[in-house]
A = this chain, B = another copy of it.
Amino acid sequence: MSVTRERIIELGESLIRTKGYNAFSYQDISTELGIKNAAIHYYFPTKANLGTSIIKTNIQRFEEMVDNMHSREFDETQQLDTFIKIYIKSHREQKVCLVGSLSPDYETLNETTKTELNKMVDLILRWLAETLTAGKQKGLFAFSDSPENKAVLIFSSLVAGLQLSRVVETIDFKNICLSIEDGLKT
């Protein structure tokens, strides 16, 4: 696949996670990549198209990560830890996550982009719930909630934890992550 196309997706994701979907423009990308406006439209006719592609790429990355963890036979503690490390990295980069950036803008997205975001959130939550269930069965995790509820609680803490950390410097995000893991200890 085209390297320019990949650069556009990568930079587009970075811009969404830094400034938000409705604040970034094709100009931001073209200037940074040293190409013209129309070059982006060549790969992504509309902004909605680019947005959808960015989410699709993220879904693929997530699926590959899960596959990889399964084939390496990571236990549930290791899997959760790997997932949380993505957020630690985001925090270091002063970026929110894709879901946390796009969700508040949900009503401004077009239908296909909405659907793709819906898929991504659903995928993450289903994986988390499954992992929590399996981990509990193995005696690695302990919690009284339903796995689905617990999955939302954990995911929400990560998503909004990143958002709030950028606003208030007093928040210790790494400690939040530790609390999430400690909250599952047996």
Say which one of A2-10, A18-26, A38-46, A71-79 lies at the interface with B.
Answer: A18-26
Tally A residues with Cβ within 8 Å of B. Answer: 49
Distance, CA A104 to CA B97, complexed state (A)? 9
Distance, CA A27 to CA B151, complexed state (A)? 40
Complex interface: chain B residues within 8 A of A158 (CB): 156
Partner of A168, one of B122, B146, B166: B122
Does A171 count as interface, using CB distance less than 8 angstroms?
A: yes
Complex interface: chain B residues within 8 A of A180 (CB): 153
Please list the residues of chain A having a beta carbon within 8 angstroms of any beta carbon in chain B: 18-20, 22-23, 96, 99-101, 103-108, 114, 117-118, 121-122, 125, 144-146, 148-150, 152-153, 155-161, 163-164, 166-168, 170-172, 175-176, 179-180, 182
